[in-house]
Amino acid sequence: MKKSMTNLEDAKKAGGSKYKEKILKTIEGYKDLSDEEKKCLHVYYGYGKGKTTCVMGLIMRALGAGLKVRLVQFDKGYEGKNEHYAELDTLRKLKEVGYDVDFFSTGCERMNEDGTFRFKNSDEDFKEAKRGLEIAKDLIVNGTQDLLILDEAVAAVVYHLLEKKDIMELIDLWEKNKRFEFVMTGHKIWDELEEKADLITEMRKVKHYFDKGIPIRVGIDF
């Protein structure tokens, strides 16, 4: 037993040493990269809960570090009666006290009065998706942000509100002048997008409380 423990400790030490060496090598290599090479494209996707939750956490981290943040949300608009996403109220309050954050919610009301969701697209839905696209283009070309997040931009392709080429054109614009970190979320990715991204994380549903009768809840899900 003692021998096994010794072997385990030796293995841990050896692994730790190799990992430390890799970290130091990465840090040294990073110093030699240009400012543009240091900027990365993140994609968070999947049918599991947590994509918007993830990027909101990233926003908090970036603001805490003094970075300028811009958020464009696709297909998450409302008619002005009920704002369905509590995180926007948090961002609004942060902006009021001096944090450099701005957000643009596009899309039409999807929530029905009975709590169900409207899936069918209207002409206004398409107009709003194009409006979000134009806002994103302007921020990529003219924005002063350190971090730009396009929440549900990739999902808009799945919902047929945008085309794959729309997303790839945004990435092409960004690649011409990588001034900021670029983040997208959605449900499904495709080969070209996977090739362009520097970081991809899949949110995969393992279990969800909805399946046992618990609906979405204020402050937890929206």
CATH for 130: 3.40.50.300
Q: Are residues 26 and 42 in the same domain?
A: no
137 and 95 together in one domain: yes
64, part of any domain? yes
C-alpha distances in Å from residue 126, one per residue of 52, 93, 130, 139, 151: 21, 30, 6, 20, 16
Percent of the chain with pLDDT over 70: 88
Q: Is residue 221 part of a domain?
A: no
Distance of alpha carbon 168 from the chain centroid: 16
14 and 118 in one domain? no
Give me the pLDDT at residue 186, please.
97
* Cα 84 to Cα 78, 108, 140, 159, 220, distances in angstroms: 8, 12, 27, 19, 12
At residue 78, the pLDDT reads 62
The answer to whether the beta carbons of residues 181 and 147 sit under 8 Å apart is yes
Question: Same domain for 4 and 93?
Answer: no
pLDDT at residue 23 in the model:
83
The whole domain housing 26 covers 1-32
Q: What is the pTM of this model?
A: 0.86
Buried b (16+ CB within 10 A) or exposed e, 140-166: beebebbbbbbbbbbbbbebebbeeeb
Question: CB–CB of 106/161 below 8 Å?
Answer: no
- Would you tell me how many other CB atoms lie within 10 Å of the CB of residue 105? 19
Query: Do residues 151 and 173 share a domain?
Result: yes
Start-to-end CA distance of the chain, whole Å, equals 51
If asked whether residues 3 and 65 sit together in one domain, one would say no
Q: Is 89 found in the same domain as 7?
A: no
Using an 8 Å Cβ cutoff, are 129 and 152 in contact?
no
d(CA 47, CA 202): 8
Domain count, the chain: 2
**27 and 118, same domain (yes or no):** no
In a domain, 192, yes or no: yes
What is the mean predicted confidence (pLDDT) over 115-129?
84
